[in-house]
Amino acid sequence: MENNITTISREELEELREAFSKIVTILGSLRKYKNNLCFHFTDIDNSGYVSDYELQDLFKEASLPLPGYKVREIVEKIIAVTDSNKDGRINFEEFVSVRHSLWMFLY
């Protein structure tokens, strides 16, 4: 039977650790870039905030088979959940905090 055990030197292990660390750093940068890209794509008027009408436009762009009243209901719920400082609009931090759970189906 063939022996599949691979040995690795301390130097090779250190190189792998360094490579893994670089990959984690790159992935972190890509995640940040993606968050920025999604936010700026949604913030159509470039105000620094995402408003209810910008979210409604996003639903129109996504061409989801939903009537207007349903889109407005969903947008109201998204803002209610996302707008943690209750100023009626979504800033970048609020956007990033919920993007993965609420927005995956739109992007």
Q: By CB under 5 A, what part of segment 67-106 binds Ca ion?
A: 83, 85, 87
47 binds Ca ion, rule: CB under 5 A: no
Task: Tell the smallest beta-carbon distance from residue 36 to Ca ion (Å).
Answer: 18
Task: Tell the smallest beta-carbon distance from residue 23 to Ca ion (Å).
Answer: 34
Task: Tell the smallest beta-carbon distance from residue 9 to Ca ion (Å).
Answer: 53
CA distances from 67 to 64, 71, 104 (A): 9, 6, 20
| Interface residues toward Ca ion, by CB under 5 A | 83, 85, 87
